[in-house]
C-alpha cells in the first residue's frame, strides 16, 4: 500500500505548492486594480459611514460617537424635508422633459443630412459650458425687469413674472435650466442609438404598411431605442438628483429652495457639521442608488436588446 | 394576358455620372419565378427596391398585375418582401411579427395604439381573424411551435421561415426576395431552395428573386435576368442562358466550372480561326475582327475526331468531384488553364497523372462565338468535308 501512497502524497504536496504559486500570481495581477478600487471608492465610503455616526465638526478637537442621532435629526429637520421634496419635484420635471425632448430633437436631427453635425454642436454646447457661468446668463434672461423673457411676456400682455423669486416658480425654473443643460448630451446618446437601427427594419416596416411616421416610430424606432432610453433615463435622473450649481448661484437656497446637495453643502462647509453632512450624504446616496437599481430592473424587463 | 410584373425603361442613378440602372425593360408573366442575377454592384438589389417601392426610379414605369404602381407606396402595391437579414422585429414574438402586415392593413390607426386600441370597437373580431390567418401560415411553414418565441431565440433557418410567413400572410400577388438564402449554411441553403420552389408552386404568385449565386438562379427559376452594370444582358430560361448565351459575360457567369474562352480571329471571308488554327466548318457573316470562342468544360474531349479543333496540353491539376473529375490543362505555348469536365466512367482504365501530356479537342458545333463587343455571333456550321470540297 505504502508503495502506492507515496507517489500520490508527493504529487499532492507538489500540487499544493503549485496551487500557492498560482494564487500568488493571481493576487499579484489583481492587486493594482484592487488597491485603486479600495483607495478611490471603498475607503472614502467607509470614512463617510464612520463620520455619519459622530458629531465631528471641522477643526473640532473632541469628537464623540452619537449613534443614529444624525439620521434621526435629518428626518425631523424641516430644511432637509424641504430639500428632499424640492429635489423630487426637480427630478420629476427634468427626467420626462430631459429625455422626451432629447428624443424628439434627436429624431429631427437624424433625418438631416448636411446640417446634422451643426445641430449636434448647437445642442451640445450647454453640456460643454460651465453651468455656474451659464447660470448668471440665465439670471439676466429671467430678470423681472431687464430680462428678454419678461419683455416678451409683457408684449404678449402677460404680467411681470418673478421666475427666480416667486416660491411657486423657482423649482420649475431651475428644472427648466436643468433640462436645457442635460438635453444636448441625451440628444447625442439618442443619435447614436438611432444610427444603430438597421435600415432593413425600416424597409420591412414600410412594406408591412407601417409607413406613417407614428407607425414607423412605434414599430421600429421606439422598441429599438429601448436600451438607449434606459441608459439615458438612469443617467439623467442621477444628474438631476445632483442639482447644485444653479441653486448655489441663482437662489442660494433662499425662499425655501434648498435641494439635497445644497443642504449637504451648507451643513458641511458653511456650518462645519461634518458628521451631520456625512449622514445626509449617506441618505442621498442610498436614495439615488435605490432609484437607479429600481429603474434598471423595472425598465430592463421591457427593453429588448 | 396580363403580366405579373412589367418594367419599362427604368433609370436610376445615385450619382449623376454613375448610373445604377440604365433603361431596364422586363416583362414577367403572372406566376413566374424570375431571378435577377449578377455580381455585386450590378444594380439587381436597387431594381428590386424600385419594384417594391422602397426606392423611386428617376424614369420609367412599374406595373404589377397590369396596374400602374410607379408612384405608389410599398403597402399599396400588394407585394411582400423577404430581406437578406430577414429584418424581423426583434422585440416582437414570432406571432406578432407575422401579424404585423395584417394589423397594419386591417386595423384602424386608433385601434393599433398600444393602450387606447383595446377600446376601439370591433377590434377583437379583427384580431381573431388575424390570429387565425397567422396560425394558418405558421402551419404551412411548420413554425406553429415557435409562435411565442422572440427572433433572438431562433436559428437562422427558423428566422428565414418566419420572414417567409410574414411575407405570405397577406397573400400578395408579387413576392420579392433579396438574397434570402445567403445567410444560411450550405446544407440548409440547398434544402431551402427546394422549399422555396415548392412554396412558389403552392402559392402560385409571381416571384422575383435576387441572388448573386448562379446555382440558386439556375435551379429555382422559370426564367433568369442576368444583369451587369445596370443593364440586363439576357433574359431567358436557365437552359437558354446555358446553351445559347447571348453575351460572352453571360456565358462566363453561368456554369461551374466556368466556360473556357479562347481568342479567335475572323478573316475577310468570315472564316473563324482559333489559336492560329482554322475552326473547320465555322463561318460567320461578319468579317475581320477579333473574337472569342467559348467552350463549356463538358464539351472538351480528351480524344480528337477529324473535324475537331485539337491542341496539345499539359495536365496541371485534377479535382475529384465524386462522380466526375475536373481537369485543369495548360495548352502548349499559352498561359491559360483549360477546364475539362469528364465523368468518372470515361476515365476508367485510363489513369491520369499531373504533368502528363494530353490531347484536348472540341468540335465547332459545341463552341460559342462572341464578337469583339462580347455579343453572340451567328455562325453557319458545315460538315468539314463539305467545306473542303467547296474551298
Tens digit of pLDDT for each residue in A214-245? 888 888 999 899 888 888 988 898 888 888 88
pLDDT band for position A8 (cuts 50, 70, 90)? low
B75:A209 CB<8 A: yes
The closest alpha carbon to B180, from B97, B80, B90, B92, belongs to B80
| Alpha-carbon dihedral B332, B336, B341, B347, rounded to 10 degrees | 30
A203:B83 CB<8 A: yes
Classify domain B3-243 at the CATH superfamily level: P-loop containing nucleotide triphosphate hydrolases (3.40.50.300)
Q: Does A198 touch chain B (CB under 8 A)?
A: yes
A201:B89 CB<8 A: yes
Q: A with B: how many residue pairs have Cβ under 8 Å apart?
A: 69
Decide if B154 contacts B94 (C-beta within 8 A): yes
Q: Can you tell me the mean pLDDT for A181-204?
A: 91
Parts of chain B with a pLDDT under 50: 384-391
How near does any CA of chain A get to the CA of B113, in Å?
9
The closest alpha carbon to A99, from A240, A206, A224, A214, belongs to A240
- Bridge partners (DSSP) listed for residue B26: B7
Is A1's pLDDT higher than 50? no
A220:B52 CB<8 A: no
Return the CA Rg of chain B: 26
Nearest to A210 among B79, B85, B104 (CB): B104
Give the Cα separation of A68 and A76 in Å (integer): 13
Question: Looking at chain B, which residues constitute the CATH 2.40.50.140 domain(s)?
Answer: 256-390
**Which of residues 58 through 77 in chain A touch B, CB cutoff 8 A?**
none
Contacts of A204 in chain B (CB under 8 A): 81, 83, 87-89
Domain ranges of chain A: 1-52, 69-300
Nearest to B85 among A200, A209, A223 (CB): A200
Contacts of A203 in chain B (CB under 8 A): 49, 52, 54, 81, 83, 87
How near does any CA of chain A get to the CA of B170, in Å?
9
Tens digit of pLDDT for each residue in A140-161? 888 877 888 888 888 887 877 7
Is A4's pLDDT higher than 60? no
Give the Cα separation of A107 and A101 in Å (integer): 10
Q: Please state, as a whole number, how many other Cβ atoms lie within 10 Å of the Cβ of residue B65.
A: 17
B101:A198 CB<8 A: no
B101:A209 CB<8 A: yes
How near does any CA of chain A get to the CA of B270, in Å?
54
A207:B104 CB<8 A: no
Tens digit of pLDDT for each residue in B11-68? 999 888 888 999 999 999 999 999 999 988 889 999 999 999 999 999 999 999 989 9
Tens digit of pLDDT for each residue in A115-148? 888 888 888 888 888 878 888 888 888 887 788 8
Contacts of B87 in chain A (CB under 8 A): 198, 200-201, 203-204
How near does any CA of chain A get to the CA of B105, in Å?
7
Give the Cα separation of B43 and B62 in Å (integer): 16
B89:A219 CB<8 A: yes
Tell me what pLDDT residue B384 has.
45
Classify domain B256-390 at the CATH superfamily level: Nucleic acid-binding proteins (2.40.50.140)
Domain range A69-300, CATH class = mainly alpha
Q: Does A168 touch chain B (CB under 8 A)?
A: no
Comparison of pLDDT for A201 and A77, the residue scoring more: A201
Contacts of A215 in chain B (CB under 8 A): 104, 109, 112
pLDDT band for position A10 (cuts 50, 70, 90)? low
Q: Does A4 touch chain B (CB under 8 A)?
A: no
Nearest to A207 among B81, B92, B150 (CB): B81
Would you say the ipTM is above 0.85? no
The per-residue DSSP string of B247-315 comes to: BHHHHHHSSSSPPEEEEEEE-TT-EEEETTEEEEEEEESS-SEEEEEEE-GGG-BSS--TTSEEEEEEE
Is A299's pLDDT higher than 80? no
Amino acid at each position: 500500500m505504502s508503495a502506492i501512497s507515496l507517489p500520490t502524497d508527493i504529487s499532492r504536496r507538489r500540487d499544493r505548492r503549485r496551487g500557492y504559486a498560482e494564487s500568488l500570481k493571481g493576487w499579484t495581477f489583481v492587486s493594482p486594480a484592487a488597491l485603486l478600487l479600495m483607495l478611490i471608492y471603498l475607503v472614502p465610503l467607509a470614512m463617510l459611514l464612520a463620520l455619519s455616526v459622530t458629531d465631528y465638526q471641522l477643526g473640532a478637537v473632541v469628537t464623540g460617537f452619537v449613534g443614529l442621532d444624525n439620521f434621526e435629526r435629518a428626518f425631523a429637520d424641516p430644511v432637509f424635508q424641504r430639500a428632499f421634496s424640492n429635489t423630487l419635484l426637480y427630478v420629476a420635471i427634468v427626467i420626462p422633459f430631459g429625455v422626451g425632448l432629447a428624443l424628439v430633437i434627436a429624431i429631427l436631427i437624424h433625418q438631416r443630412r448636411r446640417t446634422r453635425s451643426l445641430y449636434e454642436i448647437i445642442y451640445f454646447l450647454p453640456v460643454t459650458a460651465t453651468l455656474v457661468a451659464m447660470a448668471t446668463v440665465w439670471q439676466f434672461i429671467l430678470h423681472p425687469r431687464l430680462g428678454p423673457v419678461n419683455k416678451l411676456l409683457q408684449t404678449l400682455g402677460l404680467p411681470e413674472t418673478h421666475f427666480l423669486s416667486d416660491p411657486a416658480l423657482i423649482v420649475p425654473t431651475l428644472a427648466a435650466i436643468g433640462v436645457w443643460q442635460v438635453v444636448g448630451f441625451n440628444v447625442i446618446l439618442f443619435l447614436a442609438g438611432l444610427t444603430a437601427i438597421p435600415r432593413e427594419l425600416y424597409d420591412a416596416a414600410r412594406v408591412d404598411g407601417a409607413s406613417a411616421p407614428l407607425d414607423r416610430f412605434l414599430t421600429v424606432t421606439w422598441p429599438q431605442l429601448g436600451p438607449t432610453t434606459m441608459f439615458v433615463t438612469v443617467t439623467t435622473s442621477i444628474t438631476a438628483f445632483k442639482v447644485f450649481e444653479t441653486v448655489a448661484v441663482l437662489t442660494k437656497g433662499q425662499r425655501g429652495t434648498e435641494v439635497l446637495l445644497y443642504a449637504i453643502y451648507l451643513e458641511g462647509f458653511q456650518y462645519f457639521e461634518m458628521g451631520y453632512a456625512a449622514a445626509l450624504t449617506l441618505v442621498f446616496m442610498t436614495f439615488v442608488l435605490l432609484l437607479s437599481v429600481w429603474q434598471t430592473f423595472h425598465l430592463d424587463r421591457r427593453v429588448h436588446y | 394576358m396580363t403580366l405579373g410584373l412589367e418594367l419599362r425603361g427604368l433609370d436610376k442613378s445615385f450619382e449623376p455620372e454613375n448610373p445604377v440602372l440604365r433603361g431596364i425593360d422586363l416583362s414577367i408573366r403572372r406566376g413566374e419565378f424570375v431571378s435577377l442575377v449578377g455580381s455585386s454592384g450590378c444594380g439587381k438589389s436597387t431594381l428590386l427596391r424600385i419594384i417594391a417601392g422602397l426606392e423611386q426610379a428617376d424614369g420609367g414605369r412599374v406595373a404589377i398585375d397590369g396596374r400602374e404602381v410607379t408612384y405608389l407606396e410599398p403597402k399599396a402595391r400588394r407585394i411582400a418582401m423577404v430581406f437578406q437579414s430577414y429584418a424581423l422585429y426583434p422585440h416582437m414574438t414570432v406571432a406578432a411579427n407575422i401579424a404585423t402586415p395584417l394589423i397594419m392593413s386591417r386595423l384602424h390607426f386608433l385601434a393599433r395604439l398600444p393602450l387606447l386600441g383595446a377600446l376601439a370597437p370591433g377590434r377583437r373580431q379583427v384580431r381573431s381573424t388575424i390570429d387565425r390567418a397567422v396560425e394558418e401560415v405558421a402551419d404551412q411553414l411548420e413554425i406553429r411551435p415557435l409562435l411565442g418565441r422572440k427572433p433572438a431565440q431562433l436559428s437562422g433557418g427558423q428566422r428565414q421561415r418566419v420572414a417567409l410567413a410574414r411575407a405570405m400572410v397577406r397573400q400578395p400577388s408579387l413576392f420579392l426576395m433579396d438574397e434570402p438564402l445567403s445567410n444560411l449554411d450550405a446544407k440548409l441553403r440547398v434544402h431551402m431552395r427546394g422549399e422555396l420552389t415548392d412554396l412558389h408552386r403552392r402559392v402560385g404568385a409571381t416571384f422575383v428573386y435576387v441572388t448573386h449565386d448562379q446555382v440558386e438562379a439556375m435551379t429555382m427559376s422559370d426564367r433568369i435576368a442576368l444583369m451587369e452594370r445596370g443593364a440586363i444582358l439576357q433574359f431567358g430560361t436557365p437552359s437558354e442562358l446555358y446553351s445559347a448565351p447571348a453575351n460572352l459575360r453571360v456565358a462566363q457567369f453561368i456554369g461551374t466550372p466556368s466556360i473556357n474562352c479562347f481568342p479567335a480571329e475572323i478573316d475577310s471571308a468570315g472564316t473563324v480561326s482559333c489559336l492560329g488554327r482554322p475552326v473547320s466548318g465555322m463561318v460567320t457573316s461578319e468579317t475581320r475582327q477579333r473574337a472569342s470562342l467559348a467552350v463549356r468544360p463538358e464539351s472538351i474531349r480528351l480524344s480528337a475526331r477529324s473535324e475537331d479543333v485539337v491542341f496539345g496540353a499539359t495536365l496541371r491539376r485534377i479535382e475529384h468531384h465524386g462522380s466526375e473529375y475536373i481537369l485543369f490543362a495548360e495548352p502548349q505555348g499559352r498561359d491559360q488553364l483549360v477546364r475539362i469536365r469528364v465523368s468518372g466512367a470515361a476515365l476508367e482504365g485510363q489513369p491520369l497523372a499531373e504533368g502528363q501530356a494530353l490531347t484536348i479537342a472540341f468540335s465547332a458545333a459545341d463552341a460559342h462565338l462572341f464578337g469583339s463587343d462580347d455579343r453572340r455571333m451567328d455562325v453557319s456550321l458545315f460538315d468539314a468535308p463539305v467545306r473542303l470540297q467547296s474551298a
